[in-house]
Structure 1
């Protein structure tokens, strides 16, 4: 039995997993590094999952961000609720309600270390989502 979502937009955890999987897939296809999906359902009622990815340039981070928006809107019919950091491009945050996508440059990801901050979350192996990590 699927666990119900406690997130702001409670479409269920399975729907959140679809969003996160699609976002992670876009990041991988655009050569994002260290792509990770983290289940934070047990830590907060605000959202279900985080997606993390690292990009090597402003251009790459913008491309990943824009393509995630495109895929989630056109394929899944979802609308982004907010975006932060796009202009500075060190840390872009895409808010989809139940899923929050964090796109970092390497230095910023290392500095903020959200994976440690949310260490009680459960990493979801990309293979479990039908994705193949970049080598």
Structure 2
């Protein structure tokens, strides 16, 4: 059987998603490495915030464009674009969560997966 689609390493995909988020000024990017976490359903969660529903949608679109352009990858499933308060981009081995900032604090995924290895990414200031 011929494999039509080469599987991308989840760490490479994770890094590309972070870059896609940074392209649209995502705030408070956090990477949760779930590879050694019991009961996890994916390798990585990447969580970020936007200041408005428009920015949340823009960040999600930026991630999709960036991963498609640079890795030839697209999400298996997308949820939440209709209200843009929490957009979930499911790449199977990596799941990106783009939250409106108030919604993010309500769901608090970082605390829910507190046993995962956590990396906080510094915000980029494009105007420095």
TM-score, L = length of structure 1: 0.80
Of 70, 73, 77, the match for 2:68: 73
**Residue segments in structure 1 that go unaligned for 5+ positions in a row:** 1-10, 127-131
The structure having more radius of gyration, on CA atoms, is 2
Within 2, Cα distance between the matches of 1:72 and 1:30? 14
Moved more, 27-36 or 90-99: 27-36
- Cα deviation per residue 1:9-55 (whole Å; 9 max; x = unaligned)? xx47xx21111111111212211110111101122452100111000
TM-score, L = length of structure 2: 0.84
Does the 8 Å CA contact 2:20/2:67 hold for their aligned counterparts?
no
**Residue segments in structure 2 that go unaligned for 5+ positions in a row:** 1-6
Query: Structure 1: which 4+ aligned runs deviate by more than 2 Å?
Result: 43-46, 132-135
Aligned length: 119
* Larger RCO: 1 or 2 (CA < 8 Å, sep 6+): 2
